[in-house]
Amino acid sequence: MSVKSLINQIQVYNPDSETELLERCYRFAQQAHKGQKRKSGEPYFSHCVKTAEILAELRLDTHTICAGLMHDVLEDTGITRQELQVRFGANIANLVEGVTKIGQYRPNVASATATAVITVEDRIHRKTQAETYRKLLLATAEDMRVILIKLADRLHNMETLNFLTSEKCQRIAKETLEIYAPIAHRLGIWRIMSRLEDLAFKHMHPGEYRKIAELLNQKLAEREAYCDKVVKQIRQVLEKRGIYADVHGRTKHIYSIHQKIQKGTPFNEIRDLIGLRILVKNEADCYIALGALHQRWNYHPDRLRDWIGNPKKNGYQSLHTTILDEGKTVEVQIRTYQMHKVAEDGIAAHWSYKEGVPTSAQGRSIFANYKQILEDIQETQDSPHQFVESMKLEFFQDEVYVFSPKGDLFTLPAGATVIDFAYKIHTDIGHTCVGAEVNGSIAPIRRVLENGDQVNIRTQPNAKPSRSWLSHVKTAAARNKIRHWYREKDRADALELGKKFIAAELRVSYLNARDCLNSPKLLDIAKQLNLKNLEELFIRIGNGYESATHVVNLLKPEVPEPETKTAADVETKRKSPGPAVQLENDIDLGMMRIMKCCNPIPGDQVVGYLTRGRGVSVHRSGCIRILDEPERLLAVKWTEKPPSVNGDQQPDVYPVKILVECSDRPGMLGEITTAIAQYKVNIRCGSFQPSTVHLDATASDNLTIDVTGAEQLDSVMQGILQLKGVQRVTRIS
């Protein structure tokens, strides 16, 4: 499409569009992608134009269409965001950058065929995938126009997917079905949602797709002839009531037929392969038309739906009924022209093509509901599979409408239970729910709710949620609230248990519990373990991640041994080689010992402590084991080791323990050990286990390495920290 054709398409609905800006963006993107080809062999820029064309079909604002033209320039060319902002303004630059960010979150969707054996790599992959989904969803909420551009981009990519490898087609199709089609559904953009579903289904299950398509074609002429006959009859019935309407047939898309077959409905029993749609001028005519149809034909009362009086969360409004004609069932939808536009284009139907924002209260409500769902899903701690299923349910499932005893209307996803409804009302009501009355009858809390149910929740003050509820609730909000309650309960239990463990250990050690628990040294110990406060320390002890005995031993002051050594023993130790430290005034007070409690190494700031009968103990400055006796503290310094005569003497090395917190991915441990080896440092021992310290790390490497001093240790730690996936490196001792 030429720039002139694109502008003409836009000016049909927006005569005041910024044509000069559109032309500049068109030429700029065309030049930026010059020479680039798609897998089909077409110029890459053709994809950008098609994306803009889809956005124009949705009647979006000029800036959104301009961003659609340039949506790939940051990712695929050397253009920078700053250059875009200088040329076209911050608004367009922000949109292009937003689409680029979404493109960075590319989930490696697992193949459709699940294997029986789940490896460690699979679990790591799935956890990463779930986190990617969360980030993608969060990015879509920043500016609604960003996801609209991405949907247009994805639609055209799906239309040209056959030029990619089979494996890549499968991955992109599954991602489309799990992520982008549900988002389009939640935003009410049916024309994009149905196309994305059919294209994804075609590539994921080509055999089933062809089978349904062939079944549809077998009696297509017969169905169309019957449809034309019923359309004429309906028009005659409506004209007698003074209603002039557009009546036409509509074909059910292939993926929705597949879903019905999957639920157990044979193809020949699907009643709405071809339905009818009636478009009228106003809402009153909708109900008049419904009455006229029911007067002329029998209908299924249980399949009557009033989405006008109770619109769906995505803004959808319509009357649905199923009439009986000559033994056949015909599904009919009745709506106004404006309702039809909303049904096809969703939130885009409420869009201001001048201001680039939702203009109506209904449009703002759709956006607010979308963001609320995102927030609920963001908080889930589900496994990747459960997370995707939760997202599909929240985004894609039909709704049920239930009432409180006062007549307040509540919307829940189909399949929601009494528990979901209780948490929908209030968190405390959910926590204390013990049962319900549904339509005046006693019902269990696991009861699945149906349209029109009136629900009265029964509570008890001392009741509490059950973990088993997690397998029955359908909404992310209810699941999150139940899990939060148990996290807080488990935390409180661990806190109390940790305090008991410490108190018991203090009694065994004959230490005053009150003094020790109020001692500043206890907080120093917590900080040394990378914990924020004493509460976190007690919780870790209560959960078994830290030893109460170890903590109490650190609290104990360094108690000097009795002077039982003979003069000969003292003289022998004085003559033996000592550590490379000495008093700053070079006075010899006897043996000097490097203490293991803080394990100082050359280069550390150190201090000496004069003991009774055991010489001077050397600690790192600030060590919590040093007694508060300033008169016993001595200034010490490291000494340089004299070089050997022949120059072949190896430098002294000192064992140091470090903690590496990192991602639990294949090859991570190998990369860490390789990084250490580059500094010619020996790894004395180590262990690898799940991280229990920080939430952003999934694994911990406890390593003991031999270094010549603090300078080499810093270099090694910085080298490890540069590795991808490493969150932090901490010296333990």
pTM of the model: 0.54
- Give the model's confidence band at 111: pLDDT under 50 very low, under 70 low, under 90 confident, else very high: very low
Cα(535)–Cα(497) distance, integer angstroms: 11
pLDDT in tens, 379-436: 555 554 555 555 555 554 567 778 888 877 787 877 889 999 999 889 999 999 998 9
| CB distance 157 to 192 below 8 Å | no
**Residue 226 burial class via C-beta count within 10 angstroms: exposed 0-12, middle 13-18, buried 19 and up:** middle
Q: Are 100 and 353 a contacting pair, CB within 8 Å?
A: no
Check whether 523 has a pLDDT greater than 60.
yes
Give ∠ CA 634-638-641 in degrees, rounded to 5: 145
Q: Compare 173 and 312 and report the one with higher pLDDT.
A: 173
Identify which of 372, 390, 373 has the alpha carbon closest to the alpha carbon of residue 381.
390
Tell me the C-alpha distance between 540 and 412, whole Å. Answer: 39
Number of other residues whose CB lies within 10 A of the CB of residue 385: 13
The mean pLDDT of 163-183, rounded to a whole number, is 85
The Cα-based distances of 654 to 591, 594, 648 in angstroms read 19, 11, 19
C-alpha 354/C-alpha 30 separation (Å) is 25
Summarize pLDDT for 13-56 with one digit per residue, the tens.
888 888 899 999 999 999 999 989 888 888 999 999 999 999 99
Helix spans in 409-475 (H) = 418-425, 427-431
* Alpha carbon distance 274, 270 (integer Å): 10
Give the CA distances from residue 129 to residues 125, 136, 386, 692, in Å, rounded to whole numbers and listed in that order. 6, 11, 12, 21
Give first-to-last CA distance, the chain, whole Å. 68
Q: pLDDT tens digits, residue range 274-290?
A: 789 999 999 999 999 99
How many CA atoms lie less than 13 Å away from 587 in the CB half-sphere? 8
For residue range 677-686, what is the model confidence (pLDDT) as tens digits?
Answer: 888 898 888 8
**pLDDT tens-digit series, residues 453-462:** 889 999 998 8
Mean pLDDT over all residues of the chain?
80
Residue from 230, 254, 197, 397 nearest 312 by CA:
397
Task: Please give the C-alpha separations between residue 444 and each of 149, 411, 415, 448, in angstroms, as whole numbers.
Answer: 45, 20, 15, 9
As a whole number, mean pLDDT of residues 251-258 equals 84
Of the pLDDT bands very low, low, confident and very high (cuts 50, 70, 90), residue 578 is very low
Length of the chain: 733
How confident is the model at residue 199, as a pLDDT? 93
- Flag whether pLDDT at 112 surpasses 50: no
Contacts of 551 (CB under 8 A, 6+ apart): 502, 505, 522, 525, 537, 541
Instruction: Please check whether residue 286 is in contact with residue 336, taking contact to mean a CB–CB distance below 8 angstroms.
Output: yes
**Region for residue 599 given its phi and psi (left: phi exceeds 0; alpha: psi -120 to 50; beta: otherwise):** left
Q: What pLDDT, on a 0 to 100 scale, did the predictor assign at position 507?
A: 76
**For residue 124, what is the enclosing H or E element?**
helix 120-140
Candidates 188, 142, 141, 184; CA nearest to 374 is: 141
Please tell me the predicted confidence (pLDDT) of residue 576. 39
Given 18, 23, 57, 76, the catalytic residue: 76
Unique residue bearing structure tokens 């009153």? 284
Domains by residue range for the chain, with CATH: 3-203 (1.10.3210.10), 213-350 (3.30.460.10), 484-555 (no CATH), 567-638 (no CATH), 654-731 (3.30.70.260)
Helix (H, G, I), strand (E, B) or coil at 491: helix
150/523 Cα distance (integer angstroms): 50
Containing 232, the helix (H) or strand (E) segment is helix 220-240
Query: Which pLDDT score, from 0 to 100, does residue 628 have?
Result: 63
Half-sphere exposure in the Cβ direction for 595 (13 Å, CA): 23
Residue 334 has pLDDT above 90, yes or no: yes
Q: Which pLDDT does position 285 carry in this prediction?
A: 93
The reply to whether 246 belongs to the active site is no
Q: Is 450 a catalytic residue?
A: no
Cα separation values, 162 from 37, 307, 599, Å: 15, 38, 63
Please provide the DSSP assignment of 337-367 as one string.
Answer: HHHHHHHHHGGGGGB-TTTSSB-SHHHHHHH
DSSP annotation of 115 reads -
Band of the pLDDT at 295, cuts 50, 70, 90? very high
Average pLDDT, stretch 434-449? Answer: 90
* Rounded Cα gap, residues 395 and 392, in angstroms: 5
Q: What angle do CA 713, 718, 720 make, to 5 degrees?
A: 95
Cβ atoms < 10 Å from Cβ of 460: 10
Return the amino acid letter for 70. M
Q: Which residues of 560-591 are buried (b: 16+ CB within 10 A; e: fewer)?
A: eeeeeeeeeebeeeeeeebbbbbbeeeeeeeb
Please tell me which residue, 507 or 177, carries the higher pLDDT value. Answer: 177
CA nearest neighbour of 184 among 163, 170, 200? 200
Beta-carbon neighbour count of residue 227 at 10 Å?
A: 19
How much is the pLDDT for 353? 54
pLDDT > 70: percent of the chain: 79
75, 355, 389, 652: which is the annotated catalytic residue?
Answer: 75
Q: How confident is the model at residue 614 (pLDDT cuts 50, 70, 90)?
A: low
In Å, what is the CA distance from 22 to each residue of 25, 47, 250? 5, 16, 36
Q: Who contacts 503 (Cβ-Cβ below 8 Å, separation ≥6)?
A: 513, 517
Q: Which two tokens stand for residue 444?
A: 């269990």
The two three-digit tokens of residue 494, written as one number:
């661990």
Which pLDDT does position 139 carry in this prediction? 57
